[in-house]
Amino acid sequence: MDISFSEAKGMFSTAIDLIKKGSQMEAQSQIQKLQEQYLELHAVNLEIKQELFSLREKLAQRDNMVFEEPFFYLHSDGDKVGPYCPKCWQKDEKKCRVVKTPESYGGSEQCQVCNATFGKGKPVPRPEPIKY
């Protein structure tokens, strides 16, 4: 039950007139309707504010994500955080960390989410356990 500002103003004026005439019950009914509308609009307003905050945060993050080959880094307040997987960031704008893989020839780095491998070295396959 959405009402316009002019409708709300009219309901408020009607409530005041009813109070002046001594019709307390009818005035209370009008005021209760206005209060319900206010609470509904307040809840919607809070949702919109939260969504706006979230979108602004995403936009700031996108603006501060910098590509330094072969990875993305988040630059914020003079700090550099990362590296983040270029595949995950470019596909879904997900900040997925890339870590060094110790079991590799020549050193490589791997995304912890999509398992993409970066660098000169290739991960060394883990040997199969010996079965007795």
Rounded CA gap, 124 and 109, in Å?
12
**Amino acid (1-letter code) at residue 33:** K
Global pTM reads 0.55
Rounded CA gap, 41 and 43, in Å?
5
pLDDT category at 120 given cuts 50, 70, 90 is low
What's residue 6's pLDDT? 78
Q: Which helix (H) or strand (E) holds 98?
A: strand 98-101
Mean pLDDT of 5-32: 83
Residue 118 φ/ψ, nearest 5 degrees:
-130, 150
pLDDT category at 104 given cuts 50, 70, 90 is low
Q: Are 99 and 84 in contact (CB under 8 A)?
A: no
Mean pLDDT of 109-118: 87
- Helices (H), ranges, the chain: 5-21, 24-64, 86-92
What's residue 113's pLDDT? 92
**Which residue did the predictor score with more confidence, 128 or 33?**
33
pLDDT category at 86 given cuts 50, 70, 90 is very high
Task: State the Cα angle at 68 between 66 and 72, rounded to 5°.
Answer: 55
What's residue 50's pLDDT? 97
Residue 126 has pLDDT above 90, yes or no: no
What's residue 55's pLDDT? 94
Tens of pLDDT, residue by residue over 26-44, are 888 888 888 888 888 889 9
Mean pLDDT of 101-110: 72
